[in-house]
Amino acid sequence: MGFRNWKKKDKIRQHIGGVGSVHNQSRQYCLDLMNQKQHIQTVLIKQSNQARIDYRICLTASLDCVRFLLKQGLPFRGRDESDTSNNKGNYVELLQFLADHDEKVKAVVLENAPRNLKLIAPTIQKDLVNVCATKTIKKIIKDMDSAFFSLLVDESHDISVKEQMAVLFRYVDKKGDVIERFVGIQFVTLVAMAKGNADVATFFTSCNSLVDIVGVSCRQRDMLRDQLQKDITVALENDNLPTG
């Protein structure tokens, strides 16, 4: 409650009290508040700086894994990337390899990273790959230095037998060397063309049905192969087999 009579000096000592008194606690709180090193904002800034450092280490390690896999042309994802899996795919396994050989990386990745900042989700892997692709194309354009170039397009199939176009730049660099740079793959679909022409749509629908019917049965495939062989034999005998 304090006091109002300053003539009684002994009341001051009584007000101050012992080490753990309310007065001394309040005085210490005041000193801590005025001490910038103990200020709440200063503590938060220190924590934010450390979080940024940890994130940069985690991101750098993830990008190292991405660059290695892209350079070697290796797949990223695994069939089973759960915690109990023995093989979680090249990306996660390579990140684990880096963590096992670098204590700074180990402290901020995988199980030691925040749940929302592990950088191992499929969407995050795709984002990192897209960033690398964008930076690579910018580097190629810079190397071209506004020179004339040609665009090479070739058709190929992937492992799932989907049609796709491989796109390359061909140009002459500053040293006079002819350079070819692969810039990407574009999947090709015939949906737009088929929708615009009824005959084309019917043709591809029939082809699709034929593939579905014949492809599911070994017996039907053999029948189709035998019939094709007979047709070729008859055409050869009648000299009606087109060539060229």
The better pLDDT of the pair 34, 98 is held by 98
**61-105 confidence digits (pLDDT tens):** 999 999 999 888 888 887 877 778 888 888 888 998 999 998 988
More confident residue, 37 or 184: 184
CA dihedral 167, 140, 133, 60 (to 10 degrees): 160
Give dist(CA 155, CA 190) in Å, integer. Answer: 14
User: Domain segments of the chain: what residues?
Assistant: 41-128, 145-188, 192-237
What tokens were used for 125?
């892997």
The rounded distance, in Å, linking the Cα atoms of 62 and 68 is 10
Residues in CB range of 64: below 8 A, 6 or more apart: 98
Percentage of the chain modeled with pLDDT above 70: 86
Task: Supply the DSSP string of 17-57, one letter for each residue.
Answer: -STTSHHHHHHHHHHHHH-GGG-HHHHHHHHHHHHHHHHHH
Structure-token pair, residue 232: 């070729």
pLDDT digits (tens, 9 = 90+) for 11-26: 777 777 777 788 888 8
Q: What is the pLDDT of residues 214-229, one digit of tens each?
A: 877 888 888 888 988 8
Mean of the per-residue pLDDT values of the chain? 81
Q: Is residue 77 a contact partner of residue 122, using CB atoms and an 8 Å limit?
A: yes
E strand or H helix that includes residue 62: helix 40-72
What was the pLDDT predicted at 117?
A: 80
**How high is the pLDDT of residue 37?**
65
Residue 36 confidence (pLDDT): 67
Q: What average pLDDT does range 135-140 have in this prediction?
A: 87
pLDDT at 193 over 70: no
pLDDT band at 195 (very low <50, low <70, confident <90, very high): low
In whole angstroms, give the CA distance from residue 32 to residue 43. 12
For tokens 């950088």, what's the residue?
119
**pTM (two decimals):** 0.52
Q: What is the pLDDT of residue 161?
A: 67
Mean pLDDT computed over 157-183: 80
Give pLDDT tens digits for 171-190: 888 788 888 888 888 777 75
How many CA atoms, within 13 angstroms, populate the side-chain half-sphere of residue 20?
Answer: 0
What pLDDT does residue 66 have? 92
pLDDT of res. 194: 62
pLDDT band at 46 (very low <50, low <70, confident <90, very high): low
